[in-house]
Amino acid sequence: MDEREPIEPDASAFHALVRQDMRRWLERAVIGLNLCPFAKAVHVKGQIQYAVSAAHDPQGLLDDLESELNSLLAIDPSVQETTLLIAPHCLAAFADFNDFLGEADDALARLGLAGILQIASFHPRYQFAGTAADDITNCTNRAPYPTLHLLREGSVERAVAAFPEAGLIYERNMRTLEALGRAGWDALGVGPTPGKPGPDVVIPAPSRNPSPPRGTIGS
């Protein structure tokens, strides 16, 4: 990953733009539309780590995931509450990304971190089971790049306990996106920056749907 290993200058510039795109998405969509009521606090406090993976294949991303899981566990939550592991170079097809989530959960268990940390997910072509690819409600879990969101289980539990309507967030988000509509979502400008000086992700149409949502920010 670019924050732990030397990389070429062009890749470094590209990864800086990836982080910029992700922060814009977080501010305009996740916080701006209040898709996650827990996101604003960790954003304002600077407790979100934006880790950009340089991996071009699932195994490389899995290695980066294990590194980020261990790093998150080792650092004080007041310094870093959560991590967004962004994968702009691989898993462009949503079906492949969806399959990879099983490997991610296996890694969590293998490291003995199940019940301590958890992994949520976002993807440019995220698609809920039973929806059409162009259904606006899929945008609740769409981000500019394939992304694994690493969270602290205890922090999530405390946040949910402090938010009495946490169970209604999913349904409320569906209504928010339906009211916003496609034109409104596009007007947010939360996709990848056009003409980036580095490799880009070409996203084919998805061929498989996941079931429940696995996306959340903050705690």
Q: Are 117 and 148 in contact (CB under 8 A)?
A: no
Question: Alpha-carbon distance 103 to 80, whole Å?
Answer: 24
Residue 25 has a CB neighbour count (10 Å cut-off) of: 24
Nearest to 21 by CA among 176, 140, 188: 188
Q: Are 140 and 174 in contact (CB under 8 A)?
A: yes
pLDDT reported for residue 3: 45
User: Tokens for 135?
Assistant: 């259904």
Q: Which of 83-92, 146-155, 186-195 has the lowest mean pLDDT?
A: 186-195
Structural domain boundaries in the chain: 9-187
DSSP 114: B
Question: Alpha-carbon distance 201 to 144, whole Å?
Answer: 10
In the block, which residue shows the tokens 């539990």?
A: 157
pLDDT band at 31 (very low <50, low <70, confident <90, very high): very high
pLDDT band at 216 (very low <50, low <70, confident <90, very high): low
pLDDT reported for residue 7: 45
